[in-house]
Amino acid sequence: MVAKLLLDSKKGTVMRMNDQEYFRSCIAKERHLAQLLGHRHIEECYESAGTLWDNAQALPKWTRDWQACGPLLTEYRIALAYDGETQKAPGGVVSAGATTVTLCDHPSRDRAVMYAIVKEVIRLLEHHHLATSEQAAPLHPHP
């Protein structure tokens, strides 16, 4: 597989993934979020590549569509912050809650922000799920 370099026209920086790898990583995040939100029969059909389905319902494209991603900001009360370029993050970073994403790793700032939001919601849901399961069944019960 040959890696293709993508230019972010807004910052003039180069992405590190090829189109297919980036697309698949977005779908993987969307699948993970859908599972955490309770969807159980998630499929991706060949005829509609890039769209995840739960039975006959198309799932939102949270990492690729603001109409799907936007409500996550308010529902999970995620604060966004931007920071400038550093040696480790040319082009700057966006922080969504406790999750930080390097802008140059995405085709646009919009896509980087949506990706960060989805990663943060996943982090929050996993943390909540872990805390709930630990309360329900402690690892080391006291006698």
- Phi first, then psi: give them for residue 96, nearest 5 degrees: -115, 100
Does pLDDT of 62 surpass 80?
yes
Grade residue 130 by pLDDT with cuts at 50, 70 and 90: low
Distance of alpha carbon 43 from its chain centroid, rounded?
Answer: 18
Q: Is residue 140 part of a domain?
A: no
State the chain's mean pLDDT as an integer: 82
Report the CATH number that the domain containing residue 90 is assigned in CATH: 3.30.2120
What pLDDT is stored for residue 49 in this prediction? Answer: 80
The count of C-alpha atoms lying within 13 angstroms of the C-alpha of 64, restricted to the half-sphere facing its C-beta, is: 16
Mean pLDDT of 3-12: 42
Write down the pLDDT at residue 50: 85
Does residue 93 fall inside a structural domain?
A: yes
Nearest to 108 by CA among 28, 2, 22, 33: 22
Answer whether residue 1 is part of any domain. no
Candidates 132, 115, 37; CA nearest to 78 is 115
Q: Is residue 88 part of a domain?
A: yes
Q: Which residue has the higher pLDDT, 143 or 74?
A: 74
Cα distance between residue 31 and residue 35, in whole Å: 6
Question: pLDDT category, 4, cuts 50, 70, 90?
Answer: very low
**What band does 112 get if pLDDT is binned at 50, 70 and 90?**
very high
Task: Note down the domain range covering 19.
Answer: 7-135
What is the domain count for the chain? 1
Q: Give the global pTM.
A: 0.77
Sheet holding 42-44, edge to edge: 42-44, 52-54, 57-58
pLDDT of 63 over the 80 cut:
yes
Residue 141 lies in a domain: no
44 within a domain of the structure (yes/no): yes
Residue 95 within any structural domain of the chain: yes
SS3 133: helix
Higher pLDDT, 49 or 89: 49
> Do 34 and 52 meet the contact criterion of CB atoms below 8 Å apart?
yes
Residue 9 pLDDT grade (very low, low, confident, very high; cuts 50, 70, 90) = very low
Q: Give the model's pLDDT for residue 20.
A: 87
Tell me the per-residue pLDDT of 39-53, one tens digit each, with 9 for 90 and over: 999 998 877 888 999
- 12 within domain boundaries: yes
